[in-house]
Chain A
């Protein structure tokens, strides 16, 4: 199967322009990560240096892996059903674009801002901790394996969240319903990242690499499964 990068880029560019001009979407995508930034920042800035040893036992930063799971979910869930409701899907599907190209374009368009936001929030958190936390606290929580896990897992988790959202979007007939189901569909990811953050699942570099490999495989499989679920006839005629 050959893919046209020009057609994929066309979808990505169109989506990113559309996001930028959709104020509601921008606000939604920004508020949730800010909430995720404020809570751990306040907690960690209030820690005394005597408590740093206790911090070293946990992986508070990995709590932020929930951001790439949650931020793209709503956007991805609206990606197909939204176009369908606005009658913009049919003109696109009358062009030579394949369903794989269309979905890849939609996924990349959701991935780029989500990963950028997740990294930006993470960077802001790290900078705040370095600048304002009590001495000893930054060294206790800013550990190389955690940072590597965060960097590596952020795009892979976002991609998985996006494929879940797109899968629901191809089968839904209402944007709001699709978004709600998509959030529910991403709860397992959110649960796993929380369990790691609270050290219920003990995070190691090996575990992070194994998870990354698993997510990479799941993301590729997700793309193929969603492509197979993408039924032009159902989407256009709404009869199956």
Chain B
């Protein structure tokens, strides 16, 4: 167990989950925004919420943020049951950074933050604003009117605004949307920093690499919850582990080489190899055990081995596999 996992486990033992969602649904008239969501997010966890446009991610965030009332189901946010009566108390403990920064463009950065510090009734607002601005590297632009800032800088101000109240749960809706790679990296570092401070982060994103790098667990939503788990678990659940083998020339009888090996559950030719090389994908239960056996078998038949490597599936592969399944199901 990693130090990170240990911290999370300890946090979960002592406290109720930061978010607990039970069969939650939201319908707008005839249109179903999301349906039957059930999951928990532990305190201090960075939880990724992925899905295509229109999957219900933003509606789910708005529902958990008490802006919209669920049609059915129950939830608790920051340990407080989600209900209209508890709206103010929940909003005191959370912060939401919407996809659109929504800044007052005629006001300066610091004036925007002063307004929100008062709305959250933040104690020592001057210090908090200063800390929030430093956290997003915007101290030098504090007195610039927000209307003069680029999209990326506005996004940073919106993030500073979300940090003002020192929230227990922070909802970030596409926080790196429109940011250049350096600015996106800064946001990632900030999320890492918040994670170390024990802030629970609910991150919706289209950037699958971002989710893979930042999130302890991810959920893939397409109106209903398609899957939930750690990124590596999802890969293992969805895709067989494979070794990719390249030989200088195609093997005359690859079936006789691979089929009989322990730990190998199947193999296939990986298309026509470039420059006449042989290329094979070997499905294995454990690459660390199977790789030496495959190497020995290849050497035994006199094959000229160019490389043997584990073929890794990304979170993007998982995502596309699930969403493609949904598209296929819709077509049928």
Contact = CB atoms under 8 A, between A and B. Distances in A.
Judge: A and B partners, yes or no.
yes
A6 B165 CA distance: 15
Nearest to B103: A88
Given A87-B100, A91-B116, A95-B91, A237 B62 contact: yes
The majority secondary structure among interface residues of chain A is: helix
Nearest to A235: B67
Given A86-B102, A92-B119, A232 B67 contact: yes
B102 A17 contact: no
Contacts of B94: 94
Nearest to B108: A17
Interface residues of B, number: 36
A237 B34 CA distance: 14
Contacts of A237: 28, 59, 62, 68
B235 interface: no
Contacts of B158: 91
Contact of B67 (A7, A10, A90, A98): A90
B62 A236 contact: yes
B88 A96 contact: yes
Contacts of A17: 106-107, 111
Contacts of B118: 6-7, 9-10, 13
A92 B112 CA distance: 11
B98 A91 contact: yes
Contacts of B161: 91
A88 B104 contact: yes
A53 to B, nearest CB: 52
B98 A94 contact: yes
Given A96-B91, A233-B69, A18 B119 contact: no
Interface string A1-29: 00010110111011001100110000000
B14 interface: no
Nearest to B31: A239
A19 B68 CA distance: 30
A221 interface: no
A94 B128 CA distance: 19
Interface of B: 28-29, 31, 59, 62, 65, 67-69, 88-89, 91-92, 94-96, 98, 100-107, 111, 114-116, 118-121, 158, 161, 165
Interface of A: 4, 6-7, 9-11, 13-14, 17-18, 21-22, 86-98, 232-233, 236-237, 239
